[in-house]
Amino acid sequence: MNFNNELTQWYLENKRDLPWRNTTDAYTIWLSEIILQQTRVEQGLPYFNRFVEKYPNVSAFAAANEDDILKLWQGLGYYSRGRNMLKTAQLVQELYDGEFPQSYDQLIKLKGIGEYTAAAIASFSANEAKAVVDGNVYRVLARYLGIDEPINSTKGKKIFQQAANDFLNKKNPGLHNQAMMEFGATVCKPKNPACGICPVRTGCYAFTHNAINTLPVKLNKLKIRERYFSYFLIADDHKVLINKRNHSDIWANMYDLPLIETPAMVSTEELFTHPQVVDFFGNELKISEISPVKKHVLTHQRLYVRLIILQNQPIKLQENWFYTPVENIKNIALPRIIFIFLKNIFNL
């Protein structure tokens, strides 16, 4: 048997029973693909179920407001994806009368849908012969074919796309793409791949040349920015002071708490004499508690965050600050680290 036949047979016998695999509905497939980008199935499945339950079709999604979408998205990160999903749903409602397109050429024009997602939706919903290339597929192809060109180089992307196109089963591309992705996720894993049960290992370059741990190759282009946040909590038993974030930074248009950002994590004594702190709260801070500094890792940023709890503190209310009832905290879109702070304090 050749590679395609072996892989397809393996998939039919071993695939996980996932809800988006039991449908050809392009909207449902789109939901799953966006949610699962750089997210494990185990983590993404509850989010998928919540989205499908609240927005069973694209028309319902298009009618949502951004705050509701971001609240449902809370904890997944990459919040721009949630915002782009809303724009996509609204565009589909406007251009296609709520019928999610299935063709690659239409999908690729929608906000937040790139080549991978368009190929996945087109092949899974309409069996269009488009090869899907995600992280799992890159890994399978690199190891099986012995491709050492970096997967994130311009040349590498072209090589892997061509290899995926050459391997694609044109008669059943949807099944082939699912098999490639599932195989990479569950057998040909990044670490400790299950080569002992691999049905195609005898033809695999990495297996026969002891190159499993060196393929695929990836250029390290990521620059990490370190940031230092001191949040201030002003609350009583009934309401809490909330900050509405702007649209030009992380967590765009979401909510957090009054914040001072400093170039480093300064001492509390230095922080309390910071001009912004003095402007917001005056010279005398009524401090109840200061949390330990917590590290919060994003893709391109590493945040160091602490929470300073103030009691009965006079403040100079800023334009983007407002009070909300404590019980409403669960209903607004907060970064996960802030939600955890507040959840623990108010026993939400």
User: Annotated active-site positions, please?
Assistant: 33
First to last CA, the chain: 57
* Pairwise CA distance, residues 226 & 332, whole Å: 27
Q: What angle do CA 307, 311, 315 make, to 5 degrees?
A: 90
CB 242 within 8 A of CB 227: no
Neighbours of 113 (CB within 10 A): 23
* Pairwise CA distance, residues 96 & 100, whole Å: 7
Query: What does the CA dihedral 60, 90, 117, 6 come to, rounded to 10 degrees?
Result: 30
* Half-sphere CA count of 23, side-chain side, radius 13 A: 14
Q: What angle do CA 70, 121, 189 make, to 5 degrees?
A: 85
- Position of tokens 């702007």? 246
CB 101 within 8 A of CB 30: no
